[in-house]
Amino acid sequence: MAGSLVGCRDVSRFTTSGDHYEGSVVPADFVRIGIGADTKACLTIDANRLQEAPGTFSTDDGRFRAVPLRSIAPIWHDPLSTLSFGEGRLENLIYGAAASSPFDSGAGEDVLVVISLMQARDVEVRLIHPRGDLFAVFDLQRAPGSCSY
Helix, strand, coil % over all residues of the chain, rounded to 5: 15, 40, 45
Distance from C-alpha of 146 to C-alpha of 128, rounded to nearest angstrom:
25
Distance from C-alpha of 36 to C-alpha of 6, rounded to nearest angstrom:
33
CATH for 51: 2.40.160
- Exposure string over 97-107, b if 16+ CB within 10 A, otherwise e: bebbeebeeee
CA angle 7, 93, 26 (to 5 degrees): 135
**Average pLDDT of the segment spanning 132-147:** 95
Cα–Cα distance list, 127 to 25, 95, 145 (Å):
10, 10, 24
91 pLDDT above the threshold of 70: yes
**Average pLDDT of the segment spanning 35-45:** 97
Cβ atoms 47, 11 nearer than 8 A: yes
Return the pLDDT at 86: 86
31 pLDDT above the threshold of 50: yes
Q: Which residues contact 99 (CB under 8 A, 6 or more apart)?
A: 63, 64, 67, 107, 108, 109, 110, 111
Residue 123: inside a domain: yes
**Average pLDDT of the segment spanning 91-115:** 83
- Give the sign of the dihedral formed by CA 122, CA 41, CA 44, CA 112: negative
Residue 45: inside a domain: yes
Distance from C-alpha of 26 to C-alpha of 105, rounded to nearest angstrom:
24
Residue 149: inside a domain: no
Domains of the chain: total = 1
Residue 148: inside a domain: no
| Model confidence, pTM | 0.89
Segments forming the whole domain that contains residue 60: 2-143
Residue 87: inside a domain: yes
Residue 136: inside a domain: yes
